Amino acid sequence: MYRLVKPLFFKFDPENVHYFVVKRLKWFNDIFPLGKTIIRGSFDVNIKGLEREVFGIKFKNPVGLAAGFDKNGEYVEPLSNLGFGFIEVGTVTPMPQPGNDKPRMFRLPNDEALINRMGFNNKGVDVMAERLRMVKDKHPDIVVGGNIGKNKTTPNGEALYDYLICFKKLFDVVDYFVVNVSSPNTPGLRELQEKEPLKNILNALQTENHSNALPKPILLKIAPDLTNSQLDDIIEIVAETKIAGIIATNTTISREDLLSDEKEIAEAGGLSGKPVKSRSTEVIKYLAEKSNRAFPIIGVGGIHSAADAKEKMAAGASLVQLYTGFIYEGPGLIKRICKALV
């Protein structure tokens, strides 16, 4: 079915198509009497042996949806009904912000890739917290991750306060947190990946985290463009701050070996999809081997097939996430991966 409608979708602006599709999915799930049953019957994964327990959380299967797809926590239930084992929402910031000027998302079909420069467009953490509270009241079994960031206007020297605000307001409605300092689309954000500012943010979050009776896992999402020396620093930071794990990787600023034309390649933003697959896997393998698998890794980047997901896990990932592959391959990809992992 998806192969039939995909050429039509790809004729229109990718951001507009995204919202058209997810809104129709939500309507079908919420309004149409048999919608939820039809979605689950078609896509939900009911395969024994897929359960995973990672950083103290039980996942019904190891295939999740990466952050960026549902920035405001509006579509958690219908997306979960497609078979995802967990849904990561955000990136969310303390205050609402419109993001960068449109157009800001671009397809590269020849490379099976996307370039985006969304810029953390979201409705703010208060809106997300309220929506997730309603989701969790109805569906406490859906595993939800909260991907948190800073507002564009917040100076880097004050960034940790933005992360703390988001952390506190989402604490009761998410199962784990992801600290996003690796998006290339907020000016200066990646500077926070440097050792000292990153430790300051993570230590402040851990202090707040352990003031609660039941602390939540905190993960760090890193860029694929880090050098081995910087990855060594990441391993050291995880050990020092005692965060739960790493998500590897975010989008890349690299444009090497692309097949698309120069005009498409020249668009500013983060590149995702097949071109980032190899580097993402390299980062996972490096972190796993150099740390002696001291912490869990969620693998994301260029997963367009079951073989791609298995490659990530063989490299050291405990779980995987989809985004661009989900757009190019459709929702059937989730079940194909799960079947291959049994």
Check 80, 182, 183, 260 and give the catalytic one.
183
d(CA 338, CA 63): 7
d(CA 309, CA 323): 13
- Contacts with 88 (C-beta within 8 Å, 6 or more apart), sequence order: 64, 65, 66, 67, 144, 145, 146, 147, 178, 321
What are the Cα distances from residue 143, in Å, to 56, 76, 140, 270? 12, 10, 8, 27
Cis peptide before 91 (omega within 30 of 0): yes
Active site residue 254: no
- Residue 329 phi/psi, 5° resolution? -105, -20
How many C-beta neighbours within 10 Å does residue 70 have? Answer: 21
C-beta of residue 88 within 8 angstroms of C-beta of residue 149: no
d(CA 182, CA 147): 12
Can you tell me whether residue 273 is helix, strand or coil?
A: strand
DSSP letters spanning 65-89: EPTTSSTTSSSHHHHHTTT-SEEEE
d(CA 221, CA 244): 12
Amino acid at 242: K
Instruction: Catalogue the active-site residues.
Output: 183
